[in-house]
Amino acid sequence: MRRYVIKRLAQAVGVLWAAYTVSFLVLDFLPGDPVSAMAGAGMDSGQVDPARIAALRHEYGFDKPVLAQYADHLGRALRGDFGDAVSTGRPVTATLADALPQTLRLTGAALLLAAVLGGGLAVLATYTSRRWLRQLLLSLPPLGVSVPTFWVGLLLVEAFSFRLHWFPAFGNDGLRGLVLPALTLAIPTGAQVAQVLAKSLLTALDQAYVETARAKGAGRWRVHLRHALRNASLPALTVVGLLVGQLIAGSVVVETVFSRDGLGRVTAAAVTAQDIPLVQGVVVFGALIFVSVNLIVDLVYPLLDPRIVVASDRRAGIA
């Protein structure tokens, strides 16, 4: 078990390094650099002093060869220093740390809503013996996945803010302000959870052990929740791990639509301004969150299914 965790941690470090390197290379190949973008933004007249740009380039190290820049940046990134954001001059790490709590609150709430709504939908759809209700419930997830996030956000704002005045349309104020953006983000996520969980619940309910349970005299809820659900939860859990990445990406849209501060807004601004250090910080940070969540998911597997640790050990034994 400990070896397994160490192996997984090593993999996580590898993923982070790859994320850093790929983002570095991609950003390096893009035309233009942040200095000219910044200089251009700063002076509306279009008259830019070439000497000033050269000085800035030198200051940020853009005049060095790519490899030297890479080694230099990687070395500092390892110490947690991603440099200063070009557009604001503030350290990248501090900028991200400021934006993080808002986004964590948003994505956390969205994930919770997605699990509760999606899981509930899946359990209900597979439990009901009314055919029309099952068909209706099972048709919701594809719908939820296919509608664009920003459109859902606008609809919700229109209905619940402008018409009903239940929740504020934008801003970061408290729990009430969180409801609409979290719901917007949760709808496509929950739909995918529901889709996968419903499918694996139906598969689980078809297994022979379900018949054994029913032959014991177990009621339908007992069979559904105590026998089928735990067996069906593994694929859904895998999907949740993958959806965390989607939630972070989705926060870009949702935070923009609802004018919330957070990682998504920082990302949007950084990309617009071609703020390479900040974009890199966001990419590596996003990868860090993604890798951590999936490591946690993998460590939860054996708790849900006792066969899994044995399988990983056996593989290690033969290899």
Partner 1 sequence: MTRPGRRERRSRPPVPAHPLDENGTDMTTPLLEIRGLSVSYRTRGGTVAAVRGVDLDVFPGQVTAVVGESGSGKSTTAHAVIRLLAAGGMLDAGTIRFGRHDLVTLSEAELRTVRGTGIGLVPQDPTVSLNPVKRIGEQVAEVLRIHGLATRRAAAAEAVAVLDRAGLPDAAVRARQYPHELSGGMRQRALIAVAIAANPRLIIADEPTSALDVTVQRVILDHLQRLTEESDTAILLVTHDLGVAADRAQRLVVMEQGRVVEAGETATVLADPQHAYTRRLLASAPSLTGPSAAARAPITTAPRDASRPEPAESSPPLVEVRHLVKEFRLPRAAGGHRTLRAVDDVGLTLRRGQTLALVGESGSGKSTTARLVLRLTDPTSGQILFDGADVTTAKGAQVRQLRRRAQLIYQNPYASLDPRLSIGEVITEPLRAFGVGDRAARLDRARDLLDRVALPAATLERRPAELSGGQRQRVAIARALALSPDLVVCDEPVSALDVSVQSQVLELLAELQADTGVAYLFISHDLAVVRQIAHQVAVMRAGRVVETGPPADLFAEPRHAYTRELLAAIPGSRLPVPVADTATTS
Q: To which residue do tokens 């890798």 refer?
A: 291
- Give 31 or 217: the residue with its C-beta nearer to partner 1: 217
- 136 belongs to the binding site for partner 1 (CB under 8 A): no
CA distance 83 to 77: 8
Which position among 216, 221, 259, 272 is part of the footprint of partner 1 (CB under 8 A)? 216
Query: Shortest Cβ distance from residue 187 to partner 1 (Å)?
Result: 30
- 79 belongs to the binding site for partner 1 (CB under 8 A): no
Q: Which residues of 173-183 are buried (b: 16+ CB within 10 A; e: fewer)?
A: eeeebbbbbbb
Close Cβ partners of 220 (under 8 Å, ≥ 6 residues apart): 127
Q: To which residue do tokens 């509306």 refer?
A: 44
- 201 belongs to the binding site for partner 1 (CB under 8 A): no
- Give 65 or 219: the residue with its C-beta nearer to partner 1: 219
User: What interhelical angle do 276-304 and 66-78 show, nearest 10?
Assistant: 50
- 7 belongs to the binding site for partner 1 (CB under 8 A): no
Which position among 212, 259, 272, 292 is part of the footprint of partner 1 (CB under 8 A)? 212
- Give 99 or 229: the residue with its C-beta nearer to partner 1: 229
- 209 belongs to the binding site for partner 1 (CB under 8 A): yes
Which position among 38, 213, 257, 263 is part of the footprint of partner 1 (CB under 8 A)? 213
Q: How many CB atoms lie within 10 A of CB 150?
A: 14
How many residues at the interface with partner 1, by CB under 8 A? Answer: 28
Q: Are 281 and 95 in contact (CB under 8 A)?
A: yes
Q: How many CB atoms lie within 10 A of CB 65?
A: 8
- 2 belongs to the binding site for partner 1 (CB under 8 A): no
CA distance 7 to 287: 18
Q: Is 243 helix (H, G, I), strand (E, B) or coil?
A: helix
- Give 51 or 215: the residue with its C-beta nearer to partner 1: 215
Which 276-305 residues touch partner 1, going by CB under 8 A? Answer: 304-305
- Phi, psi for 91 (deg, rounded to 5): -60, 140
Beta bridge partners of 98: none
The CA–CA distances, whole Å, from 191 to 52, 138, 194, 237, 258 equal 52, 10, 5, 14, 21
- 211 belongs to the binding site for partner 1 (CB under 8 A): yes
Q: To which residue do tokens 């803010």 refer?
A: 161
Query: Shortest Cβ distance from residue 239 to partner 1 (Å)?
Result: 19
Which position among 189, 231, 251, 267 is part of the footprint of partner 1 (CB under 8 A)? 231
Which position among 45, 47, 129, 146 is part of the footprint of partner 1 (CB under 8 A)? 129
Close Cβ partners of 39 (under 8 Å, ≥ 6 residues apart): 48, 52, 53, 56
- 131 belongs to the binding site for partner 1 (CB under 8 A): yes
- 318 belongs to the binding site for partner 1 (CB under 8 A): yes
- 214 belongs to the binding site for partner 1 (CB under 8 A): yes
Which position among 51, 67, 164, 215 is part of the footprint of partner 1 (CB under 8 A)? 215
Q: Which residues bind partner 1 (CB under 8 A)?
A: 129, 131, 206-209, 211-219, 222, 227, 230-231, 304-307, 310, 313-314, 317-318
